[in-house]
Structure 1
Amino acid sequence: MNKKTLLCIAALAFSSLSSAESPAVPSGNEQLKSIGGVRVSMQRMLRSTDGRYFLDLYAGIWNPHGVLKDLAETKSIAFKGNQKGDQLNLKSVSVDSMDESAPKYELSGKLDANTGLMTSVLTSSDETENAAIHFEPAFKAADKPIIVFKFYGAEGESQPYGKALKRLDIINKANNSVMQSLTGFTAYAGSIGFLDVNFDGYYDVVLADTSDSRKVEDKRFIYWMYNPKTKQFQRSPQLEKIVGFPALHGEKQQIDFGNAQLYQVQNGLLNRIQE
């Protein structure tokens, strides 16, 4: 199995969201059971309130990491580190520079997991940088639900990778009620993606499609896009036709699926950029 591909969708966990064992539930002609160990990879896209910095952040896990883009100096800094509660402490692992003597950076701050607000300080080893940075969601949305997931699937030799995800319950954390049950798919049960694919401020669900003998390495994905008008997740046949993992470039509102498949998102519409 291609470990790099798996990391794209399974590197992070939003929190410990897997449910406890519960009785089997019907889904079509199958009896599904609750499954655990499913990790939720959540990509936060944050922008500094002064508009200078853009931060892609994966937090809430044992190895928080991200990339900070300085839009004024056209510079990117990759970070990784640790987290205790809402406190993040990240150190640079690479900078867009060929100069080996380039300064090292640290980014420390407090992240509110519900609002996406983050107060932080960026410092450099050469003491030229010591900036307080206030981050907020790059794409704001009204009435964004705070949700957790319950996972159901099937296990056994007949299932892809020995275990397949076949139902996903969306739980409203405010009242613990089921907002929606996503069904009609067979997906990789190791992890799911939870990210704002169309840059509208609402997080969408991305699953690795393992139906019809597909493998994770095939990079075929199932997209459930959140519709704020209906307050429901809807499948996107348009996105599911594209082969490749959706690498989001939020500062440009572009999606790179690899193999020269670069798309611009404008007013919710997906337009391919011809090179």
Structure 2
Amino acid sequence: MKTQILLYITALSLSCLSFAETVTASTTENLKPFTNVRVSMQRMLRSDDGRYFLDLYAGIWNPHGTLHDLSDQKTIAFKGLQKGDQLNLKSVSVNGDVATSEQYQLNGNLNANTGDMPAVFSAANNNENIPIQFGPAFTTDVEIERPLFIFKFYGVENAQQPYGKALKQVQVLNKTTNQVVQSLTGFTAYPKSIGYMDINFDGYYDIVLSDTSNDRKVEDKRFIYWMYNPKIHQFQRSPQLENITGFPAIHGEKQQIDFGDGQVYQVKNGLLNRVEDN
């Protein structure tokens, strides 16, 4: 039997709608602003000719990514440096430490707002430089512009928390106006980093938090999912995804999510379909 999970909150049954609502912050908690919370943003880019698919983590101290050559069925891992919008990446082994036997470089100029990146892919063995124009792999509705957000973080500090403190609130701000557009509350999460990625491949970034409620730790691999709903311009929680244990490794070139332990799901038309053969 094929297992299906609905990703779009607007199509959930009425009994689940309460999980999608933003919960107001408790007035009994004294929340403190948290700094140095890392936003791990996974960009999924595709070349204009459709040959290359790039998973890219940029805007951090160790930018890295994986390039999929869909024509030659080749996958290359990269690590490197970033200065401003300029990325200079070199090929590494799968574990990210040792250089591959065949050396590659990927140099590009990333527009952080649009996701466009003109790049040059080169191989040391043949001195060939291949120009590649990357853009967002999954486009949004042309009538609904992709929003640009920045975040502020608030939480509590006490000895009862697994890490001495816990993230309790994420303020979502419009990057252009710096105005708060939504405040995410009603959770207890890991205080040092959040995930920002397009979980359902609809062209909009979603927020993923590591759940540390009820004495949970990061190693328990339980996550809180705030999915962006472009129709109401708000993030909404997905209780269906939160029932799955495991880190959501996104494979955009296949439109699949691998939660580990054989839990692989294919995303199609807003549904998670369990891939039973894995």
Instruction: Check whether TM > 0.5.
Output: yes
CA distance in structure 2 between the partners assigned to 1:223 and 1:189 by the alignment? 15
Query: How far 1:29 moved relative to its partner?
Result: 2.2
Deviation at 1:180, TM superposition (A): 0.5
Instruction: Tell me which of 150, 158, 166 is aligned to 1:148.
Output: 150
1:255 matched to 2:254 = no
Deviations 1:120-152, CA, capped at 9 Å, x for gaps = 000111126420000000001241111100100
Specify the alignment match of 2:230 in structure 1: 228
> d(CA) in 1 for partners of 2:237 and 2:27?
18
Cα distance in 2 for partners of 1:150, 1:119 equals 31
Tell me the residue number matched to 2:47. Answer: 48
What's 2:118 paired with?
A: 119
Question: 1:217 is paired with a residue of what secondary structure?
Answer: helix
State the one-letter code of the partner of 1:162. G
- Taking the aligned partners of 1:159 and 1:215, their CA distance within structure 2 comes to 10
| Residue of structure 1 equivalent to 2:15 | none
The Cα of 1:27 is off from its aligned counterpart by 3.1
The CA distance in 2 between the partners of 1:160 and 1:190, in whole Å, is 12
What is the correspondence of 1:47-86 to structure 2 with a 5 Å cutoff?
Answer: 47-86=46-85
Equivalent position to 2:274, from 256, 259, 272? 272
Q: Please list every run of 5 or more consecutive structure 1 residues that lacks an aligned counterpart in the other structure.
A: 1-25
2:178 maps to 1:179 = no
SS in 1 for 2:30: strand
What's the TM-score, normalizing by structure 2?
0.86
Counterpart residue number, 2:191:
189
User: Which position in structure 2 is the counterpart of 1:22?
Assistant: none
Report the CA distance between 1:35 and its aligned residue. Answer: 1.1
Write out aligned runs for 1:90-109 (5 A): 90-94=89-93, 102-109=101-108
Partner of 1:9: none
- Unpaired runs of at least 5, structure 2: 1-24
Secondary structure at 1:212 match in 2: helix
For residues 161 and 69 of structure 2, the distance between their equivalents in structure 1, rounded to whole angstroms, comes to: 45
Q: Which moved more, 1:138-147 or 1:75-84?
A: 138-147
Aligned to 1:89: 88
Over the matched positions of the two proteins, sequence identity in percent amounts to 67
Instruction: Give the deviation of 1:202 after TM superposition.
Output: 0.3
Aligned to 2:32: 33
Give how far 1:62 is off.
1.1
Per the TM alignment, residue 101 of structure 1 is displaced from its structure 2 partner at its CA by: 8.2
What residue number does 2:134 align with?
135
Structure 1: distance between partners of 2:100 and 2:137: 32
- How many residues are paired up? 248
2: CA distance, partners of 1:197 / 1:55: 16
Distance 1:88 1:185, change over 3 A: same
Distance (Å, rounded) in 1 between the aligned partners of 2:128 and 2:261: 37
Q: What's the TM-score once normalised by structure 1's chain length?
A: 0.87
Residue 274 of structure 1, CA deviation: 0.5
Please tell me the root mean square deviation across aligned C-alpha atoms, in Å. Answer: 1.7
Q: How does 1:151-170 map to 2 (within 5 A)?
A: 151-170=153-172
Counterpart Cα distance in 2 of 1:36 and 1:135: 32
Whole-angstrom CA distance in 2 between matches of 1:228 and 1:69: 29
Q: Which letter maps to 1:31?
A: N
CA distance in 1, matches of 2:123, 2:165: 46
Return the offset for 1:262. 0.3
